[in-house]
Structure 1
Amino acid sequence: MNLYQQEHSVFEEHFVVERKKNFSFPLHLHRSYEFLYILDGQMEVRIDDEVKIMKKNDCAFIFPHQIHSLQSEKSEHILFIFSPEHIKHFSKYIENKKASSNFFSVEDETLLNVLLTLDKQDNIYKIKGALYLICGIYKEKCVFLDNNEKKLFSHGRLLRDIISYAEENYKSDCSLMELSTRLSYDYAYISKYFRRKTGINFNTFVNQLRINEACFMLSETSNSILDIASECGYESLRSFSRNFLKFKGCSPTNYRKQLNELE
């Protein structure tokens, strides 16, 4: 999880293109932009306080440092993740503006062809041309209003602090009680605040982070199930297996087996 956030937060001229099916990712934030296009099926997308069920031809334009999550059991999508340095003119334009929504729909064969053919190995001019095409379409679909009082899509510092704490500590002891003491907030208040803002409790969020990391390790390493459970913050294999089944609908062993069968 930290790898995901850091990867999309550190590097200038950063660009990633992904085409995936049935993809989910818990709440997170980073300094990059994201553009999401649904090719088929549907996906529940949360951006700050707005939640939308996205369907075919729906798009989402996510700004740097916006808190967002993706949840889908049956969908196919294209996702671009790119640093602000790629679209400096657009970033400057929206510096003191607020967009009416992150979501829009478009049926444009030219755009779809660009999305389907663009590759991160393409030359920088082709990449930036495609990204500015996306920005241009989004600007036409969305209303931007002057917003001099606060930065675009600024979000409560408390929620960012809670999410950052969880992402930094989910592999070890991760206690909302400890965080509430550190931030000088009442535990009951901070617990209710997080649930109100996200729709889930803090422990569920921490387990989402742990299981998401476990899925990555099951896919990309040959580590044993026991080692993965320990590295993801679980003190017992039983607790790990129970939570894995809850979030993924199968055991860690079967999950890895299914991945191997796809190769």
Structure 2
Amino acid sequence: MKPQLELIPHEIDGSIHAFIYENDRFDAPWHYHKDYELTYIIKSSGIRYAGNSIDHFVPGDLVFIGENVPHCWKNEKGYSNGVKSACVQWDSSVLDKFISSNIELKSIYNLLEASKFGVKYTNMVFNEAICKKLERLCGSKPAKKIIDLLDILLELANCNDKELLSLVGTRYKFSEKSDSRTMSILNYIDEKYQERITIQDMADLTFMTRSAFCKYFKKQFSRSFTNYLNEFRIRKVCLLLQDTDSKLLDLAYSCGYENMSFFHRQFKKYLAMTPTEYRKKL
């Protein structure tokens, strides 16, 4: 399986696709499309991938993702609580020219530019209010959808409680070969992160030399493979800290860490706090 170019099914009488998604699990693969996307999680939890960002998501999660930024939401193995999200997708040709040519909409223009990094909103009260607007957008008439979408974008642009998901913009220009390699890498990490994974393992998986793999990975994800793997494992530990009362030692080992001192250093590196401090904040 490889990342897919998703063709957004816009309505016959409109260019804005707003909908409520419900399913047993998130099942979309690592994919990208030519549309902007705003997604609010009503029900579900797991790991969100957006560009080179890895983060856990819970109900209330709101992210704005730019065109051609690869992304997906994945539930943990065994997750069976169902998923529900509110989403709107639209092609850049719908509003970009209008927005860029009107100085009054400069804040929205800046937001669209920032979307190549992925934008996460952190104020849960604000996020819930946006969700209500998304739900209304789903039932709007085609012409009204444009007005409603601009209203949402203005709210998003003026909100101060937001942060970039990535430090590097990731509007990828994919090729079939890089798609296949990238998907095989992500799938392997997702399936084997509890075990020892070496650069040689990844080089063998992708039929590359160690040096070539390291260069390829850093070009695709703007970080080294080792840093990516450690961050991935830390995010997995964070999910377990939220859902279980297990000992830190057990959680660290279950996510592939064999040395507790190293685990604690990595946790503090990525979250700027200790695992114990993180658990107390939950």
TM-score if structure 1 supplies the norm length? 0.51
Aligned pairs for 1:114-153 (under 5 A) are: 114-119=133-138, 122-139=140-157, 140=159, 141-142=161-162, 153=169
Secondary structure of 1:116's counterpart equals: helix
Matches of 2:180 and 2:136, distance apart in 1 = 37
Q: Which amino acid aligns with 1:23?
A: F
Higher strand share: 1
1:17-72 CA-to-partner distances (Å, cap 9, x unmatched) read 23223213221111101111011231321111111112121101010011112212
| Equivalent position of 1:83 in the other structure | 91
C-alpha deviation, 1:135, in angstroms: 1.5
Please report the RMSD computed on the Cα atoms of aligned residues, expressed in angstroms: 4.4
| Equivalent position of 2:132 in the other structure | 113
**Which of 64, 67, 85 is equivalent to 1:64?**
67
User: Which blocks of at least 5 consecutive residues in structure 1 are unaligned?
Assistant: 145-151, 171-184, 202-263
Change (3 A) 1:155 1:31: closer
Q: Which amino acid aligns with 1:45?
A: R
Change (3 A) 1:64 1:56: same
| Equivalent position of 1:94 in the other structure | 110
Change (3 A) 1:42 1:186: closer
Greater relative contact order, per chain length (Cα 8 Å cut-off, separation 6+): 2
Change (3 A) 1:190 1:87: farther
Matches of 1:96 and 1:79, distance apart in 2 = 17
| Equivalent position of 2:37 in the other structure | 34
Q: Which amino acid aligns with 1:18?
A: I
Contact conserved, 2:5 with 2:32, CA < 8 A, in 1? no
Q: Which amino acid aligns with 1:127?
A: K
C-alpha deviation, 1:137, in angstroms: 2.7
| Equivalent position of 1:19 in the other structure | 21
C-alpha deviation, 1:198, in angstroms: 10
Secondary structure of 2:46's counterpart equals: strand
User: Which blocks of at least 5 consecutive residues in structure 2 are unaligned?
Assistant: 102-108, 185-205, 226-282
Change (3 A) 1:63 1:91: farther
Contact conserved, 1:20 with 1:78, CA < 8 A, in 2? no
Change (3 A) 1:40 1:187: same
Contact conserved, 2:30 with 2:72, CA < 8 A, in 1? yes
C-alpha deviation, 1:154, in angstroms: 4.3
Change (3 A) 1:14 1:191: farther
Matches of 2:100 and 2:149, distance apart in 1 = 12
Q: Which amino acid aligns with 1:117?
A: R
Contact conserved, 2:70 with 2:172, CA < 8 A, in 1? no
Change (3 A) 1:96 1:110: closer
Secondary structure of 1:107's counterpart equals: helix
Matches of 1:115 and 1:142, distance apart in 2 = 18
Contact conserved, 2:16 with 2:88, CA < 8 A, in 1? no
Q: Which amino acid aligns with 1:61?
A: F
Contact conserved, 1:8 with 1:14, CA < 8 A, in 2? no
Matches of 2:112 and 2:138, distance apart in 1 = 32
Aligned residues: 175
TM-score if structure 2 supplies the norm length? 0.48
Matched, 1:5 2:37: no
